[in-house]
Structure 1
């Protein structure tokens, strides 16, 4: 805790001392950069445990950012919970054990964590102070003057905990103040996300675990997971909504409702905990009963939580990181992923500035990369929400999303390929097939999920690691000792990943046609098709070029067999297929 002189000029002022701001400060220090840094935050320690901030779940990139980039592995292992992956339970009219389940039997090879934000951010504050970063708690930022002249510093106006006003100059300013989004509003860069979604949440004392909702006599169900499902980020899925259950060390639980506004209007479950519990009793009664008797630590709510921007990184020596810039959606727990990418770009720009290099061209590239990534994730998740009740379709879409992430996006972060525009152009050439196919696949999943015919394809349980060896091989590339070591090897891995993704598109398309149009299935059952022409309207197949593939046909029967083992087909489908074949 320091009281800097108003006359002092810093190299960098970070407005906001949460995950994004503190992470950037520590990242810069660990890189060996000795620039002067001031962090301002209105909240003073001690920070509350369990009921501090929302956003407790991480996935592989976010966890890697914490334990590798920020060098907090030992702390994470000792003070927080390792995450048993993402887990999904789809809608069912029977008891909870009858709900189709998508998850993992055991902890994933590449780690992720469930974070108690209060204890985690307390530790980060201690670390940045030890790293000789000036941290002022109880500081409220009143204004930020951006001076776009190359040699002129910006000015941050703030008030300390004693009410004393300060004006601090800085060559760089980063807004990490979260949903206040000060620079976004001040500079006119705010952008709304499509398809409004809202959320309410509780943190409660004690464990709320789905394991307790199924009798121990159901041995088969309990043996699906070797460890307690409580340590997963559990999703309870229904039409236009999902509900999270996230553990917080040592024995508390975060629970939240997320819903499309045009399917479940906010007033149907917000803004009070009483209305939210009433909604749970209707849509997720097992969870509502499980919450009875648990003391509530806090209750929160947020309307239209997702947002984007027209600019988050500028060559004029300012940036927004974390929620102050963009926020996609909590569905895949990617908030820290976006922070990791953004802070990497900010560090690189500051280093270029220190070296006297021009900034504008690289800043344009960095800004475009972050916004494209965020908006693609937002679009992907929001377009799938109406079908969350449809287990087979959403499970296959989730598998598809994992292939895209672990095959093309994650390697760019682990190997820092994303920081180099030249490498990014090479990657863009590799994944060009996937870009077009992604749009086609999203439309296919939407159409498939809304189809009104009798569902012919079903599943009971999918372990997305052990049951899908090809996908698991992609996941294993995220382990430090398994990653390619040269750029050539990294690009070769991504080239192979794109081939596997193309095969998955072929496999899922066949399944969709078999389910929706079994009479048309023989036309495509043994065809190597053009994945850029996929669609569920058979009348358009010829004109779209479905049977004119742009890649070399190959045998993917072993890959297809991985999927075939996981799904079963009804007798009605078998009869329809036999009739079509004859």
Structure 2
């Protein structure tokens, strides 16, 4: 049995592990990195893994932080944003409410074929001098204590065994969660949902599902199929994600209590479930069932983790740590965040600085980001089919995401302790307001008439909303970052007041009364001047953006 010593050993060579290796190589060209992956490369295209849709943080991380933009543009699909149809039990998509942009917003995101992408990442890791070993099994590991090195035992397909000694042990083993399970770190986060998915070796061109001329002409170009299409109903949503290989990914994600996994945990049961809830999709799937590539399901897929970063020089990333929900596709976002924190911990270690205080800081920050994002999902699935409330919630959720977390990532402020200290009150206020708004959406749903008219609701027509997306890549100095965050918190406060009053018009004062104390604290209880107006407080100087736009 041979033994070798390395700076960093990464358990798992999937998306999280290979991206971490590339980020570490860029930060520390001399670092000795080994990546251990159980699956042998090359991986199959299309039928490989879920997590195919990226949003702004994940796309920015892959394209700019890791320098992979050329590959994303040439080998994958530029996404036409999120799109929602409130079509439970209906096949006439043209006659239900559709939420989505008519034209692509400026900041790009991508639909990623995970087989193509991870094959590329493996090749790129080797091109950059990373020791990427595929087709090997980790048979065990020992975590070092009080500064000792870690030991990893590995067996290859030929039966050979070896031990790797590592200063840093980084777990990217996915749901296997090797360190998380060894240390019993998994936590119940209170969000209970299940998912099933499959890939079909054919394009599901949703644009051709009806021949209504007005519906056909809503989008420019008429390529809804490039969106992450959500067909929504009470307690569930289904996804349609196109892959560059020509296949299409289909998933059903549902509240565990409202739609038991036993009703959809085989392809035949999923087909029957779709026939009841999304007949248009069921029809298209039935026509292609001979092109089925795979089928899988996860029960109770969401979980938290008690610790992500340790002063003993181990860390977790991706699904090896915590997982939220596939709605809004935050998986790659949180890979970007954890990988950045791991890179900074190693930077401090290599500089001879103590790791413990930074590990504690990054743990708190990650936990805050995780919990504030979890609030978007936990207890929210019952209202997914509400065509009156859900579009407003989507606008709020996007504004909160673009306005706060995206700013911290795009402006490279995830580790800026001084910024978090200075803006603690504003950021805490935004987090608390988001939690109150998520509860408000639930109350509104209970009171709502849930009208579902034939309509195209285009978020891009909200000038302030489009501007938030368009300015994500702005290069800001320290003062500019602080001003942008403060402006965005003010925008969220104004938007909250607008939404609450709009909800009161639908559900009565019983909706607005519980929010009065929250909104009064912001000084924004009377902003709703007209039924169709969204008002924001403008900032000062050149950075002030659009102050009024037509509401959806």
Q: Same fold (TM over 0.5)?
A: yes
Q: TM-score range by the shorter chain?
A: over 0.9
For residues 180 and 454 of structure 1, do their structure 2 counterparts lie closer, same or farther at Cα, with a shift above 3 Å needed? closer
- Determine helix, strand or coil for the equivalent of 1:159: strand
What SS does the corresponding residue of 2:287 show, helix, strand or coil? coil
Task: State whether structure 2 residue 90 is matched by structure 1 residue 116.
Answer: no
1:57 maps to: 53
Given candidates 523, 526, 551, the residue that maps to 2:523 is 551
**SS of aligned partner of 2:353:** coil
In structure 2, do the counterparts of structure 1 residues 126 and 558 end up closer, same or farther at CA, with 3 Å as the change threshold? Answer: farther
Deviations 1:86-127 (A, max 9, x none): 111113665221121111112221000000001100111111
Aligned to 1:267: 262
Please identify, of 319-328 and 417-426, the stretch whose mean Cα deviation from structure 2 is larger.
Answer: 417-426
SS in 1 for 2:50: coil
Deviation track 1:25-79 (CA, whole Å, cap 9, x = no partner) reads 1111122431100110111112100101111000011011111011111111111
* Contact preservation (8 Å) 2:501, 2:512: no
1:125 — aligned with what?
Answer: 122
Q: 1:285 aligns with which of 270, 279, 282?
A: 279
The residue that corresponds to 2:539 in the other structure is none
Whether 1:14 and 2:14 are equivalent positions in the alignment is no
Mark the structure with the bigger radius of gyration. 1
Alpha carbons of 1:354 and 1:559: their partners in 2 closer, same or farther (altered >3 Å)? farther
1:504–1:133: structure 2 CA closer, same or farther, 3 Å change rule?
same
* Distance in 1 between residues matched to 2:343 and 2:47, nearest whole Å: 31
Q: Which residue in the other structure is 1:338 paired with?
A: 334
Select which of 366, 373, 378 maps to 1:377.
373
CA contact (8 A) 1:7 1:168 kept: yes
Match 1:79 to one of 66, 75, 79: 75
Q: CA deviation at 1:253?
A: 0.3
Distance 1:143 1:273 in 2: 35
Contact in 1 for aligned 2:201/2:293 (Cα 8 Å)? yes
User: Is 2:409 the partner of 1:413?
Assistant: yes
2:214 to 207, 220, 225: 220
In 1, distance between residues paired with 2:191 and 2:411? 34
Report if aligned partners of 1:457, 1:515 keep a CA contact under 8 Å in 2: no
Cα distance between partner residues in 1 of 2:354 and 2:101: 47
* Alpha-carbon distance, 1:551 to partner: 3.2
1:363–1:486 CA distance, 2 compared to 1 (3 A) = same
CA distance in 2, matches of 1:516, 1:552: 20
Go from structure 1 to structure 2 and tell me whether the alpha carbon gap of 1:351 and 1:559 turns closer, same or farther (over 3 Å shift). Answer: farther
Q: Given the alignment of the two structures, is residue 447 of structure 1 paired with residue 443 of structure 2, yes or no?
A: yes
Note closer, same or farther for the CA distance 1:97–1:456 as it changes in structure 2 (3 Å cut).
closer
Q: What's the TM-score, normalizing by structure 1?
A: 0.88
Match in the other structure for 1:507: 498
Is residue 498 of structure 1 aligned with residue 489 of structure 2? Answer: yes
Verify the 8 A CA contact 1:459 1:566 in the aligned structure 2.
no
C-alpha distance 421-124 of structure 1, shift in aligned 2 (>3 A)? same
1:102 aligns with 2:99: yes
Secondary structure at the counterpart of residue 380 of structure 1: coil
* Residue 310 (1) aligns with residue 301 (2): no
Q: Secondary structure at the match of 1:89?
A: strand
Which residue number in structure 1 is paired with residue 462 of structure 2? 468
Report if aligned partners of 2:388, 2:450 keep a CA contact under 8 Å in 1. Answer: no
After superposition, the CA RMSD in angstroms is 2.1
Match of 2:174 in 1: 178
The 1:179–1:105 alpha-carbon spacing in structure 2 relative to 1, beyond 3 Å, is: same
Query: Cα distance, 1:435 vs. partner?
Result: 2.2
Deviations 1:534-580 (A, max 9, x none): x7264x57xx646844437886759962598455xxxxxxxxxxxxx
Question: SS where residue 250 of structure 2 aligns?
Answer: strand
Determine which of 186, 189, 193 is the counterpart of 2:185. Answer: 189
- Greater shift, 442-451 or 85-94, is seen at 85-94
Matches within 5 A, 1:383-462: 383-451=379-447, 454-455=449-450, 460-462=455-457
Q: Where does residue 511 of structure 2 map in the other structure?
A: 536
Is the contact made by 1:86 and 1:103 (CA closer than 8 Å) also made in structure 2? Answer: yes
Question: What TM-score, normalized by structure 2, do the two folds share?
Answer: 0.93
Matches of 1:456 and 1:260, distance apart in 2: 22
- 1:561 is matched with which residue? 533
1:363 and 1:559 map into 2 onto residues whose CA distance is 48
| Per-residue Cα deviation, 1:476-520 (whole angstroms, up to 9, x for no partner) | 1213xxx14201101101111111111110110011101011xx4
Deviations, residues 174-207 of structure 1 (Å, cap 9, x unaligned)? 0101000110011121112313111111100111
CA deviation profile, 1:209-258 (whole Å, cap 9, x unmatched)? 2212111xx22211221131110000010010000000001421000000
CA distance in 2, matches of 1:394, 1:553: 22
Number of equivalent positions: 535
- CA 1:457–1:433: 2 relative to 1, 3 Å: farther
Task: Give the Cα–Cα distance (whole angstroms) in 2 for the partners of residues 166 and 456 of structure 1.
Answer: 63
Residues 90/512 of structure 1: CA separation in 2 closer, same or farther (3 Å cut): same
Structure 1: tracts of 5 or more residues without a match: 521-534, 568-582
Q: Secondary structure at the match of 1:27?
A: helix
Aligned residues of 1:57 and 1:114 also touching (Cα < 8 A) = yes
Instruction: Please say if residues 306 and 329 of structure 1, whose CA atoms lie closer than 8 Å, have aligned partners that are also in contact.
Output: yes
Name the CA distance, whole Å, in 2 between partners of 1:115 and 1:428: 36
Q: Is the 8 A contact 1:308 1:375 kept in 2?
A: no
